[in-house]
Amino acid sequence: MSKRVGVEVSIAVADAVALARAEVISAYPITPQTHIVEHLSELVANGHLDAEFIPVESEHAAMSCACGSSAAGARTFTATSSQGLSLMSEILYHPGPMRLPIVMVVANRALAAPISIWNDHQDIMVQRDIGWIQTFAENGQEAVDLLLHAFRVAEDKRVALPFIVNIDGFTLSHVIEPIIMPDQEDVDRYIPAFKPHYRLDPRKPISMGPVGIPEVYTEEKMAHNEVLKASKRVILQGWKEFAEIFGRQYNPVEVYRTEDAETLLVTMGSISETAMTAVDEMRNAGKKVGLVRIRLWRPFPGPEFRKAIGKAKTLAVIDRCLPPGAVCGPVGAELRSLLYRVPGAPKIFSFVAGLGGRDVTVDRFKEIVDKADMYAKKRPVELYEVIGVREK
Amino acid sequence: MAINDAIIGWKTLPFGGHVLEPGSTVKFKTGDWKSQHPVTDNSKCIKCGMCWIFCPEMAYQQTEEGFYVANLDYCKGCGICAHECPKNAITMIAEEGGKCQSA
């Protein structure tokens, strides 16, 4: 029987990697992700996990190594954060078009300067277009469940794409939560053995990652984009099977008290739990407010999002990332594009909050909703607003 | 400017852009952008095969007489053979008129 245990989320994530029977882990420590790979190295060293743990010299090497290992046909895992993710950047663009189903957990953290080890989404938003499937977890249970789902979907022959599960640094990675750890038999049933289309094998040599001359480059990019978009079907099927085996249902977009809501908060990641408390309090005060949470970020679930917002009049979109000089935050820009000139589409207001570990409290969410409602009546001068910034 | 339209549809590309046939590069004459090519003076050559060993493109082949000749369809003109030759028998000759020579 699966057991509900009190455990640090990073440790639970590492245990889930072991349950998924990862065969190669190449990783480099970086706060706040370190506990994940530290625990995995213990599991391997103590003989609890039959895998190769490769302690590489940098994140660039970690991802290069993961590409080679996945190409050789091994179930491959790594994890990183922030500057480490940035150091991987050059290699992150390879496994998508090359169809290497590496699974990675990113414990989201701010980017320097100034140096910050604390949580926001700037690290992953820099890597928005690397062509991996990307999900965002809200709590520890979801981190474990989404990780198992990542292995199930990434290695599916119809997909064969790399997969990132984002968990908020510290807020999730370092918090002890009650988590139901699944049984090994159930995980084995959910995640079959990895059978790649092709693998590096000296008995049957092939070349992976050759040059793409101008006569084929566009077609290679098109093929990758199409398979990433088409992966949504398998992502949904993976969550359906997950519910059948483990009893917990996940969707690309989650809604909370959106029925008859006029204003909707839009969030990703762990701040959504605080947002739900804020929604409850505002509902008690008679405000028609709800919450829409994006779990699947890439491929973006456009139809599911449009359905989730129903007939709401106003969206208050919260980005945990400030792209300097941009029109607004990446989530805000995505939703403005998605809903541009759609008949009956709500007004979209973009907010930046929770940078570099700054808490987004219940009161902040109320402030955001109040501001969005105000801007719905009187158009704001700026296309986005930084919440909680001190002027003097 | 050369026209570089697509040569294969995105639906028919090999999985992951892999090259599934080993050694398929031999089908492409990859030496057409070199700026110089090696010429061996057979009167100095001692048939030691150092050029054959060091050539990074494996462009050298041995003739029936035992001399080594670079296949200019694949030679990139790097000059390693000339540098390594113990008898200085190999001279690098510049390509003329923007055109390269082919074997």
**How confident is the model over A284-324, as pLDDT tens digits?**
999 999 999 999 999 999 999 999 999 999 999 999 999 99
C-alpha closest to that of A147 among A126, A167, A125, A161: A167
Q: CA of B1, closest CA in chain A: separation in Å? A: 13
pLDDT at A218 over 90: yes
Write down the mean pLDDT value for chain A.
97
Query: Taking CB atoms and an 8 Å cut-off, how many pairs form between chains A and B?
Result: 62
pLDDT at A275 over 60: yes
Tell me if B19 and A207 make a contact (CB, 8 A cut-off).
yes
Q: How confident is the model over A45-49, as a mean pLDDT?
A: 97
Residue A208 forms contact with B (CB below 8 Å):
yes
Q: How confident is the model over A278-288, as a mean pLDDT?
A: 98
pLDDT at A252 over 90: yes
Per residue in A237-248, pLDDT (tens digit) is 999 999 999 999
Check: CB of residue A111 under 8 Å from CB of residue A85: no
| Range 5-24 of B in CB contact (< 8 A) with A | 5-11, 13, 15-22
pLDDT at B31 over 60: yes
pLDDT at A40 over 60: yes
- What's the complex ipTM? 0.89
A chain contacts of residue B6, beta-carbon cutoff 8 Å: 215-216, 218-219
B chain contacts of residue A100, beta-carbon cutoff 8 Å: 16
Per residue in A335-370, pLDDT (tens digit) is 999 999 999 999 999 999 999 999 999 999 999 999
pLDDT at A2 (0 to 100): 80
Q: Per the structure block, which two tokens stand in for A347? A: 């007004």
Cα atoms in the 13 Å half-sphere on the side-chain side of B24: 10
Tell me how far apart the alpha carbons of residues A126 and A82 are, in angstroms, rounded to a whole number: 10
Q: CA of A231, closest CA in chain B: separation in Å? A: 15
pLDDT at A117 (0 to 100): 98
pLDDT at B103 (0 to 100): 46
pLDDT at A283 (0 to 100): 98
pLDDT at A318 (0 to 100): 98
Output the 3-class SS for A193-223.
CCCCCCCCCCCCCCECCCCCCHHHHHHHHHH
Q: CA of B12, closest CA in chain A: separation in Å? A: 9
pLDDT at A80 (0 to 100): 98
Q: How would you class A273 by CB atoms within 10 Å of its CB: exposed for 0-12, middle for 13-18, buried for 19 or more?
A: middle
**What whole-number percentage of chain A has pLDDT above 90?**
99
Peptide bond connecting B22 to the previous residue in cis, omega within 30 degrees of 0? no
pLDDT at B101 over 60: no
* pLDDT band (50, 70, 90) for residue B97: low
Q: How confident is the model over A275-289, as a mean pLDDT?
A: 98
